[in-house]
Structure 1
Amino acid sequence: MTNLFELDKITMGYSAIIFDLDNTLLNFELCERQAILDALEVCAISLDLHEISETTFLQVFETYNSQYWRQRDVFSPHKIIEMSYQSTLAHLKIKTDKTNHLSQSFWHIFNNSAITEPDVDEVLTFLAPSYRLAVITNGFVSAQVPRMKAAGIDHFFQEIVVSEAIGFAKPSPEIFHHTLSKLDLKPAQVLYVGDSLNHDYAGAMQVNIDFCYYNRKNLALAPEVKPKFMINKLLKLLELFK
């Protein structure tokens, strides 16, 4: 892994920087949790009335939600969220007939709001005048693009590539090749920044794109995992380009 203070000559060769979206530019967990709770408020379901804390509700919801998302090939996202609310409310003994309304409210709130990772605006503002910027994200067009607009960051990017739109998801090399083609660039001209070793690192390695691991939780890396660069704060990305 290259020392951040020995990079001036190395980083001059990049023409573009491609970012992952969730948990790289946008904080997915905070966005999701806020939407889960806000949907309860929209549907007038009070946790206080049932003496249940927000933390408890979120913990139960996320347990069921993670189980149902494993069946995303069978159920639509709307149905998965509805089932997650149904199971959570039943588990916590909260009676309601509003699970469909809860799901609809969640999707509207989630798809039209955003919480960015720290220093995102500063980083993109610094990079945009000198580098072509793009996003590769797994997910749905109806969610990812509006969330970027809600965060006010969509205008920074020349290309926003969403897995649903092209039929391939990270770590598939096809989604990276597609993005390189749209940018008309070769792998050596691009740096990819992401938080997932399974999706971002694995995908970038398959197509020989240099990878910067945004290690936002300071996780220990296995010996065989060797990203080109590693940062634990997005602001440190700028040290590569000064």
Structure 2
Amino acid sequence: MRYESIIFDLDNTLLNFELCERQAILGALEDCAISLDLNGVSETNFLQVFETYNSQYWRQRETFSPIELIEIYYRSTLAQLDIQTDQISNLGESYWHIFNHFAVMEPDVNEVLTVLARSYRLAVITNGFVSAQLPRIQAAGIEHFFEEVVVSEAIGFAKPSPEIFNHALSKLDLTPAQVLYVGDSLNHDYVGATQVRIDFCYYNRKNQNLPSEVKPKFIISELLNLLELFK
């Protein structure tokens, strides 16, 4: 059956999350006049420590606001690296502003979406905060391509929960057989899509080996490969 719609994951599928995050982490330090060089700390070391606390506290995202979480990341990282500052609250606000208003896209996103939009209804299913994901799509200048953008916070269910996929199908008034889902995460995207019998295209952006039991409908290493699938 010919697909009617192609639905995309957002982070590390359309937007390069790692580069977006790096830009925000280091940009906030610059905004608040905190020099890593003067403190004898490399960017790589700072980012590694920051990511450790990000992973540790992210599960508490339902307890804290996004800016409160970011302040925790910075406070913990700066304390571990023995960097003194009175700019913690400013760091959180600066990070959030940068992260939400500057976007780094994966290669060839505009070309791929432009071509696919001529023949398919396009949409996004993404985990995250509404206050981040929607502005980031706008910052990338790609919001006009999508008929629907479904954000986990808005509906109370996150990937791989089948509810978020069923919500998107309901909004688009489509059946699973009419949809292809494109994403980079086996745990969130592959599991979620296959639970509701949506065909899955794995964007294997880092050319990782797949477990033998994982069998996506398609595998691509570049987004441009999508255009080859639908010639």
State how far apart, in whole Å, the 2-side matches of 1:124 and 1:136 are: 15
State how far apart, in whole Å, the 1-side matches of 2:219 and 2:181 are: 11
State how far apart, in whole Å, the 1-side matches of 2:167 and 2:60 are: 27
Aligned to 1:5: none
2:145 is aligned with 1:156: yes
Aligned to 2:125: 136
Q: Structure 1 residue 120: deviation in Å?
A: 0.4
Aligned to 1:171: 160
Q: Structure 1 residue 47: deviation in Å?
A: 1.1
2:75 is aligned with 1:86: yes
Aligned to 2:25: 36
SS at match of 2:138: helix
- Partner letter of residue 192 of structure 2? G
SS at match of 1:78: helix
Aligned to 2:210: 221
- Partner letter of residue 218 of structure 1? N
Aligned to 2:223: 234
- Partner letter of residue 81 of structure 2? L
Give the % identical residues.
76
Aligned to 1:7: none
- Partner letter of residue 122 of structure 1? E
State how far apart, in whole Å, the 2-side matches of 1:61 and 1:207 are: 36
Alpha carbon RMSD of aligned pairs, Å? Answer: 1.0
Unaligned runs of 5+ residues in structure 2 are: none
2:193 is aligned with 1:204: yes
Q: Structure 1 residue 72: deviation in Å?
A: 2.2
Aligned to 1:48: 37
State how far apart, in whole Å, the 2-side matches of 1:58 and 1:180 are: 38
State how far apart, in whole Å, the 2-side matches of 1:138 and 1:45 are: 31
Q: Structure 1 residue 163: deviation in Å?
A: 0.7
Residue among 103, 111, 128 paired with 1:114: 103
SS at match of 1:115: coil
Residue among 118, 136, 147 paired with 1:147: 136
SS at match of 2:41: coil
Q: Structure 1 residue 51: deviation in Å?
A: 2.1
Aligned to 2:50: 61
State how far apart, in whole Å, the 1-side matches of 2:62 and 2:95 are: 20
State how far apart, in whole Å, the 2-side matches of 1:68 and 1:62 are: 10
Q: Structure 1 residue 233: deviation in Å?
A: 0.7
Q: Structure 1 residue 108: deviation in Å?
A: 0.8
Poorly superposed stretches of 4+, deviation over 4 Å:
none
2:136 is aligned with 1:126: no
Q: Structure 1 residue 80: deviation in Å?
A: 1.5
SS at match of 2:164: helix
SS at match of 2:38: helix
Structure 1 residues 97-152: Cα deviation after superposition (integer angstroms, max 9, x where no partner) = 11111011101110111000011011001100110000000111110010001001
State how far apart, in whole Å, the 1-side matches of 2:157 and 2:85 are: 38
Q: Structure 1 residue 74: deviation in Å?
A: 2.8
Aligned to 2:93: 104
State how many pairs are aligned.
231
Q: Structure 1 residue 181: deviation in Å?
A: 1.0
Give me the TM-score of the superposition, normalised by structure 1: 0.93
Unaligned runs of 5+ residues in structure 1 are: 1-9
State how far apart, in whole Å, the 1-side matches of 2:165 and 2:179 are: 11
Give me the TM-score of the superposition, normalised by structure 2: 0.98
State how far apart, in whole Å, the 2-side matches of 1:122 and 1:69 are: 33
